[in-house]
């Protein structure tokens, strides 16, 4: 079933995220920005975790998570250890949520915002995986530029 594949992909990409964060030689560099990289790696990590906790955890898994999106981009100097814990926690949320979804659930209509087209839950889960990978690439780029 697609959910098994998605669980594997989300875990793989979130493990890559942990690796990227761990590869920073200087922890303070996680929070550096430049004109070319206005979003730092630390905030991108918080955004990825918040996004997945909100859409997969709260919306599909009814976890009760309350997103504070503005903090995903304004909070600074979160330790590597805390970032790693947040990544591990969201991996567990994703697995627990996706394991419960049926084919019928995946085919249900989903609308993220009122001004957007309706999509299926399946489509949205794939979209979220691509969103994760996009920001993972930004973090890799940020590290290669700023963690010398």
Average pLDDT over residues 121-133: 98
At a CB cut-off of 8 Å and minimum separation 6, what does 105 contact?
60, 121
Cβ density class 105-142: b for 16+ within 10 Å, e for less? ebeeebeeeeeeeeeebbebbbebbeebbebbebbbeb
pLDDT band at 76 (very low <50, low <70, confident <90, very high): very high
At a CB cut-off of 8 Å and minimum separation 6, what does 113 contact?
none
Q: Which two tokens stand for residue 117?
A: 């087209």
The pLDDT assigned to 52 comes to 98
Q: How far apart are CA 148 and CA 110, in angstroms?
A: 43
The pLDDT assigned to 25 comes to 96
Q: Which two tokens stand for residue 148?
A: 């010398």
Is the predicted pLDDT of residue 116 greater than 90, yes or no? no
Condensed to tens digits (0 to 9), the pLDDT of residues 19-60 reads: 999 999 999 999 999 998 999 999 999 999 999 999 999 999
Is the predicted pLDDT of residue 134 greater than 90, yes or no? yes
- CB 91 within 8 Å of CB 11: yes
pLDDT band at 148 (very low <50, low <70, confident <90, very high): confident
Rounded to the nearest integer, the mean pLDDT of the chain is 96
Domain 2-146 grouped into CATH 3.50.50.60: no
The pLDDT assigned to 106 comes to 98
The pLDDT assigned to 18 comes to 98
The pLDDT assigned to 114 comes to 78
């Amino acid at each position: 079933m697609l959910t098994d594949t998605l669980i594997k992909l989300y875990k793989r990409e979130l493990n890559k995220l942990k690796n990227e964060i761990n590869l920073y030689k200087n922890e303070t560099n996680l929070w550096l920005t430049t004109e070319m990289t206005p979003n730092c790696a630390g905030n991108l990590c918080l955004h990825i975790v918040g996004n997945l906790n909100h859409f997969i955890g709260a919306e599909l898994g009814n976890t009760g998570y309350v997103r504070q999106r503005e903090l995903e981009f304004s909070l600074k100097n979160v330790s590597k250890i805390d970032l790693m814990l947040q990544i591990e926690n969201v991996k567990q949320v994703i697995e627990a949520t996706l394991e419960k979804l049926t084919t019928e659930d995946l085919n249900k209509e989903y609308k993220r915002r009122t001004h957007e087209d309706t999509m299926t839950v399946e489509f949205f889960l794939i979209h979220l995986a691509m969103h994760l990978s996009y920001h993972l690439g930004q973090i890799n780029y940020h590290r290669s530029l700023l963690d010398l």
